[in-house]
C-alpha cells in the first residue's frame, strides 16, 4: 500500500512539472517593439542613402569645388604645360568628377614619366607629382633607345634627343622586349658600371664610346681614343678597372697601337699590341 501511494504521489509531481514546462503564448508587445526598432533602423538607413545622394549632387553642382589651379612638381624635362595637356584636366571641372588614378595613367603614357601621382587639394586645386626617367646610355636594338638609371629601356630617340651618352650594343630587340631575366640583370649591371665610371678620374666615362656585349665574352668597353677593346667579362667590373687604372696612365699614349686589353685573368692586365702592316706582310 505504501508503495502504491508513493507511486501515485510521484506521478502527480511529474504531471505538475509537465504543466509548468508548457510553452507560454507569444508576447505581442515584444514582437511589435522589435518590428518597430527594425523599421526605424531601415528608415534611418534609407534617409542616409538618400541624403548622401543629394549631398553628392549638391557638391557636384557647387562652384566651390571647380578646379582653378593645377600644381606640377618633379618635372625637369617636361614642361608644366605638357603635363597639364597629358592630364586632360579642363579648368573649371568639378574636383569630385576627376578619376585621379586614370589621370595618373594618362600622364605615365609619356615615355619620360616613370610615375605620376595625382592629388586633390581642397577646395579648388590639383597637385601632380612626377618621377621622371633619367637616361644614362643609348642602346642599339635596330633603333636607338634610351636606357634609364634603373636599367629599363624606355624611349626611341628622335631628332630632338641628345646623343652624348655611351652606346650599348650586342643586345637583341626581341629578347629585350620580352624582359628576359638574363638581359634585365645584365642591363642593371651596365647601369652600375656606368655609375662607377662616372666617378673615376683615370679611366672615366668620358673616355668610353661603347659598351658591347657578346654571348661568349660578356662585356667589353671600347675607348674613345683608338677604339681599343677593354675586355671585362661577366662580373667584378669595378675590381678589374681598379687593376687597369694602376697602369692606365702609361697605356694612354699607346692606345692607337693597341689591339685589346684583357682583364679576365686574375691579378693581371694582358695587353696586345697590333702588328704593323709591314710585319704582317712578312
189 beta partners? none
pLDDT at residue 18 greater than cutoff 60: no
Segment 122-135 mean pLDDT: 96
Rg (CA), the chain: 39
In order of their start, the domains of the chain are 63-132 (3.10.20.310), 135-281 (3.40.50.11690)
Structure-block grid coordinates of residue 261: 686589353
144 beta partners? 140
Segment 238-245 mean pLDDT: 97
Tens-digit pLDDT profile for residues 221-236: 999 999 999 999 999 9
267: left (phi over 0), alpha (psi -120 to 50) or beta: left
Q: How many CB atoms lie within 10 A of CB 8?
A: 10
Tens-digit pLDDT profile for residues 66-85: 999 999 999 999 999 999 99
This prediction has a pTM of: 0.75
Tens-digit pLDDT profile for residues 138-189: 999 999 999 999 999 999 999 999 999 999 999 999 999 898 999 999 999 9
Amino acid at each position: 500500500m505504501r508503495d502504491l501511494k508513493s507511486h501515485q504521489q510521484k506521478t502527480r509531481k511529474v504531471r505538475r512539472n509537465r504543466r509548468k514546462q508548457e510553452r507560454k503564448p507569444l508576447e505581442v508587445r515584444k514582437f511589435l517593439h522589435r518590428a518597430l526598432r527594425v523599421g526605424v533602423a531601415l528608415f534611418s538607413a534609407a534617409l542616409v542613402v538618400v541624403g548622401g545622394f543629394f549631398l553628392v549632387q549638391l557638391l557636384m553642382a557647387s562652384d566651390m569645388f571647380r578646379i582653378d589651379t593645377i600644381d606640377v612638381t618633379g618635372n625637369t624635362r617636361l614642361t608644366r604645360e605638357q603635363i597639364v595637356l597629358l592630364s586632360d584636366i579642363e579648368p573649371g571641372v568639378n574636383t569630385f568628377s576627376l578619376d585621379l588614378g586614370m589621370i595618373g595613367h594618362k600622364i605615365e603614357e609619356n615615355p619620360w614619366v616613370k610615375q605620376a601621382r595625382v592629388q586633390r587639394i581642397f577646395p579648388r586645386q590639383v597637385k601632380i607629382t612626377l618621377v621622371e626617367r633619367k637616361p644614362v646610355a643609348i642602346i642599339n636594338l635596330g633603333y636607338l633607345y634610351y636606357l634609364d638609371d634603373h636599367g629599363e629601356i624606355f624611349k626611341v630617340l628622335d631628332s630632338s634627343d641628345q646623343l652624348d651618352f655611351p652606346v650599348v650594343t650586342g643586345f637583341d630587340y626581341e629578347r629585350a622586349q620580352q624582359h628576359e631575366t638574363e638581359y634585365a640583370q645584365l642591363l642593371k649591371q651596365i647601369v652600375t658600371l656606368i655609375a662607377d665610371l662616372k666617378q673615376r678620374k683615370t679611366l672615366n666615362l668620358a673616355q668610353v664610346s661603347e659598351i658591347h656585349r657578346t654571348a661568349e665574352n660578356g662585356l667589353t668597353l671600347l675607348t674613345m681614343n683608338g677604339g681599343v677593346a677593354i675586355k671585362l667579362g661577366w662580373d667584378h667590373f669595378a675590381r678589374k678597372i681598379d687593376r687597369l687604372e694602376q697602369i692606365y696612365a702609361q697605356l694612354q699614349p699607346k692606345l692607337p697601337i693597341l689591339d685589346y686589353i684583357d682583364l679576365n685573368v686574375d691579378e693581371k692586365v694582358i695587353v696586345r699590341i697590333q702588328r704593323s702592316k709591314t710585319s704582317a706582310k712578312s
